[in-house]
């Protein structure tokens, strides 16, 4: 049987006049969705992908920038990250960074837009940039090693953010 013409939408969403809050605004066309999600991946990386690239050894092809304050940096940061607070980007970025090397910014976590503001400042200066989704919060919550002023530390992975007893989440 040829299933290429099978309708995959919910009958209640298309045949009745009422719709739920999820479908009140219809989904984008597949082409528009592909463009949007493709663009999203050009702007974002998640902590697991960054950690994996850094753990492979050698040059990952990007530099990681912690955009938080010195006090926050001292509490913990991604090993190998450069410390460049957002407010200092306009005066220090060009002396510290190579414009031919992509930059990955991070801040505290999903509730903080510091990494977004830093990425914007860097992009305006001509840098290729991505934002690390989840920030330092998810780095630590997923059980990746981090550095503090006292040395290296690692916490047990949070089962709500990282797979338990598995190498990766399968995404």
pLDDT for 161 equals 83
pLDDT of residue 3: 44
Residue numbers in the chain where pLDDT is lower than 70: 1-18, 166, 168-170
**pTM here?**
0.83
Exposed/middle/buried for residue 144 (C-beta within 10 Å: 0-12, 13-18, 19+): buried
- For residue 13, the model assigns a pLDDT of 45
pLDDT at 157: 86
In this prediction, residue 17 carries a pLDDT of 58
At how many degrees (to 10) do helices 114-124 and 89-96 cross? 60
C-alpha dist (Å) from residue 106 to 17, 19, 113, 168: 44, 38, 9, 21
Say whether 78 sits in a helix, a strand or coil.
coil
**Phi, psi of 21, deg, nearest 5:** -70, -25
How far is 104 from 101, CA to CA, in rounded Å? 10
Q: pLDDT at position 136, please? A: 97
Q: Residue 134: CB partners within 8 Å, gap ≥ 6?
A: 46, 47, 109, 110, 141, 142, 161
pLDDT score, position 168: 67
């Amino acid at each position: 049987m040829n299933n290429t013409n099978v309708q995959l939408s919910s009958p209640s969403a298309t045949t009745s006049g009422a719709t739920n809050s999820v479908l009140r605004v219809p989904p984008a066309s597949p082409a528009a969705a592909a463009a949007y999600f493709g663009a999203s991946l050009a702007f974002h990386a998640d902590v697991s992908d960054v950690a994996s690239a850094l753990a492979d050894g050698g040059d990952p092809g990007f530099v990681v920038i912690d955009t938080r304050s010195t006090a926050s940096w001292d509490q913990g940061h991604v090993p190998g990250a450069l410390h460049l607070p957002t407010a200092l980007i306009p005066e220090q970025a060009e002396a510290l960074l190579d414009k031919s090397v992509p930059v990955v910014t991070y801040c505290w976590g999903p509730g903080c837009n510091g990494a977004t503001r830093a990425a914007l400042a860097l992009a305006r200066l001509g840098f290729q940039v991505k934002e690390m989704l989840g920030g330092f919060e998810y780095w630590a919550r997923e059980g990746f090693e981090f550095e503090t002023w006292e040395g290296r530390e690692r916490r047990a992975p949070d089962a709500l953010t990282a797979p338990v007893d598995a190498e990766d989440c399968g995404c």
